[in-house]
Amino acid sequence: MIPMPARIIAVCNQKGGVGKTTLVTGLAEVYTQMMGKKVLVIDADPQYNTTSALGLSGPEFTLNDVLYGDESNNQKIFPGVAADAVLEVGEDWQSPNHSELGLIASERNLASRERDSMMAREHRLRIALKGVAEEYDIVLIDCPPSLGLLTVNALTAATHALLVSEPRVASVEGLAEIVTTIAEVQENLNEDIDIVGVVVNKVRKGRKDQDVWIEKIRTDFGELVLDPLLPDRELFAKAQAAAKPLKSFGSEAKVLRADLEQLARAIWKGSEA
Ligand X SMILES: Nc1ncnc2c1ncn2[C@@H]1O[C@H](COP(=O)(O)OP(=O)(O)O)[C@@H](O)[C@H]1O
Please report, as ranges, the residues that interact with ligand X according to CB under 6 A. Answer: 16-22, 49, 145, 201-202, 230, 232-233, 236-237, 240
Which partner from the list ligand X, Mg ion, none does 22 bind, CB cut-off 5 to 8 Å by kind? Answer: ligand X
Distance of closest approach, residue 48 Cβ to Mg ion, in angstroms: 9
Pairing of strands 101-104, 86-88: antiparallel
Please say which residue, 69 or 144, places its beta carbon nearer to ligand X: 144
* Closest to 25 measured CA to CA, from 50, 44, 49: 50
Distance (Å, whole) CA 88 – CA 41:
11
Distance of CA 131 to the CA centre of its chain: 19
Residues 6+ apart with CB under 8 A from 254: none
Minimum CB distance to ligand X smaller for 127 or for 244: 244
Closer CB to ligand X, 86 or 243, in the complex: 243
233 binds, among ligand X, Mg ion, none (CB under 5 to 8 A by kind): ligand X
77/230 with CB nearer ligand X: 230
Residue closest to Mg ion when measured from CB atoms: 21
Smallest gap from Cβ 221 to Mg ion, in A, equals 21
| Closest distance to Mg ion from the beta carbon of 242 (Å) | 16
Least Å distance between CB 236 and ligand X?
4
CA distance 83 to 101: 13
Alpha helices by DSSP H, listed for 90-224, are: 124-128, 149-157, 169-188, 208-221
138: nearest Cα among 49, 12, 18, 29: 29
Binding site for Mg ion (CB under 5 A): 20-21, 49
Least Å from the CB of residue 221 to ligand X: 18
- Residue closer to ligand X by CB (options 233, 244) is 233
Nearest one of 52, 31, 30, 21 to 143, comparing CA atoms: 21
